[in-house]
Amino acid sequence: MRTYLIYKAIIKFFAFADTLIDTMHCHIIFWGNNIRYKNFKSNGIPFVSVAIGGTCIFGENLSMNNGAQGNPIGCFDRCTFFVDRGATLIIGNNVGMSQAALICHQSITIGNHVKIGGGVKIYDTDFHSLDPKLRAGNSDLQHKAKALVVVKDNAFIGAYSIVLKGVTIGENSIIGAGSVVTKSIPKNEIWGGNPAKFIRNI
């Protein structure tokens, strides 16, 4: 028992030291990517890429788990924030996420008190043209479809879900784990599946 307690104390000490280092590293990354941000907490270090001309704003009390640190649910990815030239990513206050990817080519807006589960992907683009002839040529990326994504206050997106372009998730709504969200969801509802469908009201 004594060995166990000593081991746990050592682990807590190193976890505390890692958190301080991660926080300093994040400040440098956010500053270098011209992100407007306030206070945050980070376990591990996210991947961040904001293109020149892109806008990225993080609200108060952003909480991030990167890798298995802080939320060991079997997902070892880092949080990823990618903002393309001319695109806007806005994250509200008191948002928590684990190993999530927000890939913004036009506009993604996350409201306040939103929970984004482990391994969630949010995309506001198809990345490539739907026309096979254009995909085979040099103009593929210029013809990719884009549409804004909005996740409203108090929404909860379950682990490993994918939210696709043009989707709005209403206030308080819940997305079941492993869902693929292809169309907008009203407030106060639970949806799940591939493609996600209405399950019940909250």
Catalytic residue set: 128
Report d(CA 156, CA 159) in Å as an integer.
Answer: 10
Quote the radius of gyration of the chain (alpha carbons, Å): 18
Tokens at 193, concatenated = 């599946």
Distance separating alpha carbons of residues 101 and 89, to the nearest angstrom? 12
The amino acid occupying position 180 is V
Span between the terminal Cα atoms of the chain, in Å: 45
How far is residue 136 CA from its own chain's centroid? 30
Q: Which residues pair with 57 in a beta bridge?
A: 36, 90
Q: Which two tokens stand for residue 92?
A: 């509200």
